[in-house]
């Protein structure tokens, strides 16, 4: 029902803008909603400027060794940055495309970060595939100090470092495509949700 109302709403814009252009965007957005999304790897992972792949667990993050961590705990600001790569595969017979999308990244049901990809994403029909890198920039202080989430974050760090002893981490990415119709922006109804059990091999792209 939400999708139906969405496509009815944006069809109304066709009365003002080019019918051909609107119809093309609608068709491409619908095809994107039918695509398969998969988290394939993560890279450029840093915690307070420290390359996470050099770490095996949070015990390696000794504030005596990394003074920026000591400062981070005092200021309650420990920046976490990463690039997560998503592969989009299009099984339909139509081109899937969008010019902008919003995304949220969640760990253990807690939102880590939200942002936008402001570039055209296009996936060829008939099994075509494209890789979309999305950036994560978050404050990891709460994850490192909250008893409820610390275990999940510890496992994520271990997986990103390539440790074989870590439990898989459940990462969720929610994606909302946006159509640009003249000066108006219309959001896709709801989110396309990607739930992925992340292991060290997946996060290292193996």
Each residue's pLDDT, cut to its tens digit, for the chain (206 residues) gives: 555 545 555 555 444 455 666 778 788 888 988 999 988 888 888 988 888 877 765 566 677 788 888 899 899 999 999 888 999 999 999 999 988 888 998 887 788 888 888 888 999 999 999 999 998 888 988 888 888 778 888 788 777 777 777 788 788 999 888 877 667 777 777 788 888 887 777 666 65
CA torsion sign for 117, 96, 24, 10 is negative
Question: Tokens 């619908």 correspond to what residue?
Answer: 30
Q: Which residues contact 5 (CB under 8 A, 6 or more apart)?
A: 189
- 3-state SS assignment for residue 85: strand
Rounded to 5°, angle at Cα 51 from 110 and 158 = 55
Model's pTM, two decimal places?
Answer: 0.77
């Amino acid at each position: 029902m939400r999708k139906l109302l969405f496509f009815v709403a944006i069809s109304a814009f066709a009365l003002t803008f080019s019918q051909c252009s609107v119809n093309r965007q609608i068709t491409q957005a619908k095809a994107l909603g039918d695509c398969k999304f998969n988290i394939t790897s993560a890279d450029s992972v840093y915690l307070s400027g420290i390359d996470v792949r050099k770490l095996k667990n949070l015990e390696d993050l000794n504030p005596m060794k990394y003074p920026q961590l000591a400062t981070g705990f005092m200021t309650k600001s420990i920046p976490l940055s990463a690039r997560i790569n998503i592969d989009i595969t299009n099984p339909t017979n139509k081109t899937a495309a969008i010019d902008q999308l919003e995304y949220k990244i969640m760990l253990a049901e807690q939102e880590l970060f939200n942002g936008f990809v402001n570039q055209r994403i296009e996936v060829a029909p008939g099994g075509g595939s494209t890789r979309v890198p999305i950036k994560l920039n978050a404050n990891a202080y709460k994850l490192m100090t909250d008893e409820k989430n610390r275990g999940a974050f510890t496992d994520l760090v271990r997986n990103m470092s390539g440790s074989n002893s870590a439990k898989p981490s459940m990462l969720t990415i929610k994606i909302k495509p946006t159509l640009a119709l003249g000066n108006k922006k219309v959001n896709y109804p709801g989110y396309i949700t990607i739930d992925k059990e992340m292991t060290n091999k997946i996060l290292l792209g193996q």
